[in-house]
Amino acid sequence: MIVNLASSFLTLAAILFCLGLFGALTKRNAVIVLLSIELMLNAVNLNLIAFSKYGIAPSLTGQLFSLFTITVAAAEAAIGVAILIALFRKRGTSDVTDMNQLKR
Amino acid sequence: MDSTFVQYAWLIPVFPLLSFLVLTALGRGFRAAGPIVGIAAAAVSFVLALLVFLERLDGTKDDYTWNDWNWIEAGGFTLSMGFEITNLNALMLVIVTLVSALVNLYSAGYMSGDERKTTFFAYVSLFTFSMLGLVISSNILMLYIFWELVGLCSFLLIGFWYHKPEAKAAAKKAFIVTRIGDVGLLIGILMLFWLMPGHHLDFTMIGNAVAAGDISESAATWIALLIFVGAVGKSGQFPLHVWLPDAMEGPTPISALIHAATMVAAGVYLVARTYPIFMASPAALDTVAYIGAFTAIFAAVIAIAQNDIKRVLAYSTVSQLGYMMLALGLGTELAWAAAIFHLFTHAFFKALLFLGAGSVIHATDEQDVRKLGGLFGSMKITAVTFAIGALALSGLFPLAGFWSKDAILTQALHHGNVILFAVGVIAAFFTALYMTRLYVMVFLGKRNKGRKEAHESPWVMTLPLMILAVLSVAAGFASMPGEPWLAGWLRGVTLTEHADWLVIVLSNAAAIAGIAVGYVLFRKRSETEAGESEPAGLYRVLQNKFYIDELYQAVIAAPYRALGNVLYWFDNYVVSGAVRLVSAVFVGIGRAGVRLQNGQLQTYGLMILFGCILFIVAIAGRRFF
């Protein structure tokens, strides 16, 4: 049952993505928001890998692509955390609802 | 002698206009400049008008018309502007400038303490300018422009003391009531424009066209009646007379100006100027005559019961204007001339009476005749000149009012209209009666207790009184009964008329009877009436001016106001409501939009998510439709 396996991977990925999305949109702590974004990226990675294994035209491209994604996500996380720390030093808070300076 | 001065007659209105411009430019500063500039401009105009008049006095000059400035050229139609000097105009110019100059001089004393003295003289100059422009206009449209200017100036001057609510109301009333007449005049002018061959509006052209029969009798009737409606409004004839007595709220010199030379004379002048149209229509002439006659007696009766010194005089003006209209309505050249003659003499003695009343008010700060009395001793010049004016108005031989009133009554009798003649004689009786009442109550009798001693006014105020008193005696000799020199001169033809001793005797008898009855009736009352009890019966009806104001209030003003309220409600809640609703909708949308833009990235993200879902649903849902 190849298809069923694929759909269970995809379902897991969708659940992960929704969790990440929920976290990104609702959590007030910036670090958790960042984590949630990582969660969404990983859900996408899972999709890529699932399709590269069980898709219509299986190939290594998907897995390679997910490696790239992980790399980029790591870089992104590094930059994101760096910004967060800078912001925390500057403003003494990590609450995203306080980060609405552009509106003011 | 060649026509030298006539060519410069257009300068006559220019001087008051210059005075107005200079005084307006000066504003409230230079308080001393007001009287000087105003008097100087009026005096120069008077001298020029007198020169023009004297030049034409021998009666051999043709009418002078300068009509070369084309104001509007559209297609084949040309409307030219210019001025025209006929003997009638020349006479009017002298009257207007003379009265204006004297009123200016008098105002220098009367208005000396007023805060807005400069403005006052500016308005008076503008008023004079408008009336002079009206007089020398060569076509009826130009006349209409100045006609409206005269109305505007009277509005400004009646409401000059605008801090008084009565003055404000009177100014508005004068403006609105005369506007009703003006609408008639405007429609009349439009009809003339429509019907005249070549759309000419010049007075001479109108006269020629009517004489040639280019305008049918029914059309002439309509035009004449519409023009007369304008004259009724301006000259305070019966249905539209209500503004004139209320106009007494203005400064007294203005009342003199309005009643003697400018505003109300304009109506009579208009009818006189467009007389060929009236001549073409017997129906219109009869209307003019009967409205005039009714007004003459109606206003004279009201005047008996009025207690405000200026209101009595105002109603007497209405009454005298009725005489003029009566004469104009008789439809003969002699009657026409008699009306102008009465206008001429009336200007002097009515100006005299108003200025005299102003002198009394200036000295006592009191307008109620019941509270005045016994002023003869302390204000001799005013009392004597006022007496001359009152006798002239009463039509007693040999003062000015007698000759002109006699001319009108003679024409009425010779015209074969006994009703008009009888009305004229009876009105003359009432005229004498109310003038005697006024005089007895103000100048004779005992001085009221608690009232301080009145002093004679300064010379700038008494000098015009004396000049006008002399004129009130002398002006009548311009035209003797049986020798209608003035009529011939005005019409440029030789006319004959025989004097009618019946008229002379009757009018004098009416005047003397009026004076005698008035003296007997009111001599006592002037002494005892200090504590006035509530008047009863007919007297109260008269005191309330036949309840005409109340009638208008109930029949016209109140429904109109109700309609206005309904429309206001409609406008406020329906029209404005719709507008407000639209604006409220957009403000609401804007508010909602503002809520979205809260600067919270997470909200934006949520919105993006919703948008995405919407997209996906839309794309996925397409399959099912």
pLDDT tens column, B145-191: 999 998 898 888 888 888 888 888 888 888 888 888 899 899 998 88
| Chain A residues touching B609 at Cβ < 8 A | 21, 25
Least confidently predicted of A70-79, B131-140, B580-589, B607-616 = B131-140
Q: What percent of chain A has pLDDT over 70?
A: 94
Helix (H, G, I), strand (E, B) or coil at B66: strand
Which range among A70-84, B130-144, B319-333, B513-527 has the greatest average pLDDT?
A70-84
| Chain A residues touching B602 at Cβ < 8 A | 24-26, 96-97
pTM of the predicted model as reported, rounded to 2 decimal places: 0.76
If one compares B32 and A14, the residue with the highest pLDDT of the two is A14
For residue B524, pLDDT beyond 70: no
* Cβ atoms of A20 and A39 closer than 8 Å: yes
> What are residue B374's phi and psi, to 5 degrees?
65, 30
Interface test with A, best of B594, B602, B606, B613 (most A CBs within 10 A): B602
- Put simply, whether A96 touches B (Cβ < 8 Å) is yes
pLDDT digits (tens, 9 = 90+) for B358-369: 888 888 777 777
Average pLDDT over residues B271-279: 87
pLDDT band, very low/low/confident/very high, at B2 (cuts 50, 70, 90): low
If one compares B167 and B76, the residue with the highest pLDDT of the two is B167
| Chain A residues touching B601 at Cβ < 8 A | 96, 99-100
d(CA B576, CA B127): 41
Determine the distance in angstroms separating the CA of B607 from the nearest CA of chain A, rounded to an integer. 10
- Put simply, whether A26 touches B (Cβ < 8 Å) is yes
| Burial (CB count within 10 angstroms: exposed 0-12, middle 13-18, buried 19+), residue B183 | middle
The closest of B191, B193, B178, B275 to B231, measured between CA atoms, is B178
Instruction: Tell me which residues of chain B have a C-beta less than 8 Å from any C-beta of chain A.
Output: 597-602, 605-606, 609
Is the complex ipTM higher than 0.90?
A: no
Q: Assign residue B251 a region (left: φ > 0; alpha: ψ between -120 and 50; beta: otherwise).
A: beta
pLDDT digits (tens, 9 = 90+) for B11-58: 888 888 998 888 888 877 677 777 888 888 889 999 988 888 888 877
Residue B614 is predicted with a pLDDT of: 94
If one compares B377 and B531, the residue with the highest pLDDT of the two is B377
**What residues does B202 pair with on adjacent strands?**
B139
> What are residue B400's phi and psi, to 5 degrees?
-55, -40
For residue B611, pLDDT beyond 90: yes
